[in-house]
Amino acid sequence: MTPMTPMAIPNSPPSPLDPPPRLLMGPGPVNAHPRVLRALSTPLIGQYDPVMTGYMSETSALYRQVFDTGNEQTLLVDGTARAGIEAALVCLLVPGERVLVPIFGRFGHLLAEIASRAGAEVHTIETPWGTVFDPEAVVAAVRRVRPRVLAMVHGDTSTTMLQPLDGLGEICAELDVLLYADVTASLGGNHFAADAWGIDAATAGLQKCLGGPSGTAPATFSPRAVAAITARRQVEAGLREDGDEENALRIGSNYFDLAMVFDYWGPRRLNHHTEATSALYAARECAAVLLDEGMKEAVERHRLHGCAMAAGVRGLGLEVFGDQEHRMNNVVGVLIPDGVGDAAVRAALLADYGIEIGTSFGPLRGRIWRIGTMGYNARKDAVLTTLAALEQVLRGAGAKVVAGGGVSAAHEVYQDDQDGARQGAAL
């Protein structure tokens, strides 16, 4: 056996953190909004301070507007978006119950894996990466499988696709199926209406269209979901009474016990964990920034800059990936031209321009780059700078690109938008 090399211990204390300036144009994380960065450096206060509990209540109220819901149980799960997904699925499902996961990218596989670890009987349907499901196909699978939970990704960053969810809530309510949506990548940049669409549980992350750092998962739960989560507690107690400690423990996560988290965020304020104060400040500011702009306006901004990026990519002579009718507003997949190295281009963009774009996973690995225009980075200057830099790097890598074609195609989209707005104003 080779002995492990001990880590080098520096003789002097490390110098203060000084990360290089970066323009994060991948599929998330993106640069946090300056207001959010300021919120992160706001002084800490104690978790029982009425000002802190007041911030928690405000944060719930703000996220009700972001999710477009009246759900009382709208709160933050402390942890990255995956923590929100895990909390929701672990608490909605009792081991042995059926879950249906329609998979159209990497994150559908993640939902299936988390549900399987929660002890659920997992059923999946799949559609090729780059496409979405016809909602009728999902409805047919729900009728066939009769799951307790239908778990769907809304926007899958791995493929850039946005799955239509509208219409599924009705059938789920009719068949007593709980509808869960992972809106990590889509919330804030694409239309989402929890109540109008009959969504029972939805969880998100800050690091995409919400424009914050990763590490917090805003989440919302309908009264039906809350009832299921509470009932599950009784199943756990019943298993214990029957002496089935093994299965009782299996459904007994403490950190993700949403019933306890509800009690912490609710009027009783029963302490569960120590709320992550700075993360809460950031999450509150993300929602405030978004709502100051207006949800409709924020979605429209993401649409405009996403269109400009897609047009720019085409203007360079490159191809965009997937069904463009169902692309998320905030991520564009770009087919990597033949003979060009995926990693080399990304490395040159980072080294020479400080710009990060994303690679891809699974069947798309080495086939596409993913370029995000989201949150604070859904901006004209960020789009134009990225396109100009991409052109230079591609040319350096020996790819044939249309000189100036990316920036000018994006400019056209912005010009058309201004002309449209002027015409609208004149009417």
Ligand X SMILES: Cc1ncc(COP(=O)(O)O)c(C=O)c1O
Q: Applying CB under 6 A, which residues contact ligand X?
A: 28, 80-82, 107, 153, 156-157, 182, 184-185, 205, 214
CB of 185 to ligand X, least distance (A): 4
* CA 405 distance to own-chain centroid: 31
Q: Are the beta carbons of 249 and 93 closer than 8 angstroms?
A: no
Q: DSSP character for 326?
A: G
Question: Minimal distance in Å, beta carbon 362 to ligand X?
Answer: 14
Name the strand (E) or helix (H) holding 291. helix 277-293
Q: How far is the CB of 194 from ligand X (least distance, A)?
A: 16
For the record, the structure tokens of 398 come out as 């020996």
Least distance to ligand X, CB of residue 172, Å: 20
Contact 189, 209 (CB under 8 A): yes
> Coil, strand, or helix at residue 342?
helix
By beta-carbon proximity to ligand X, the closer residue of 78 and 182 is 182
Nearer to ligand X, 81 or 299 (CB): 81
State the SS3 of 362-415.
Answer: HHHCCCEEEEECCHHHCCHHHHHHHHHHHHHHHHHCCCCCCCCHHHHHHHHHHH
Name the residue nearer to ligand X (CB basis): 28 or 406.
28
Shortest distance in whole angstroms from residue 106 CB to ligand X: 8
Cβ-based neighbour number of residue 9 at 10 Å: 5
- Would you call 25 exposed, middle or buried from its count of C-beta atoms within 10 A (0-12, 13-18, 19+)? buried
Q: Which is nearer to ligand X, 33 or 82 (CB)?
A: 82
Q: Which is nearer to ligand X, 94 or 185 (CB)?
A: 185
Residue 391: phi and psi, rounded to 5, are -60, -50
Which of 233, 227, 383 shows the shortest CA–CA distance to 312?
383
Name which of 156 and 236 has its Cβ closer to ligand X: 156
Instruction: Kindly state the smallest distance separating residue 218's Cβ from ligand X, in Å.
Output: 12
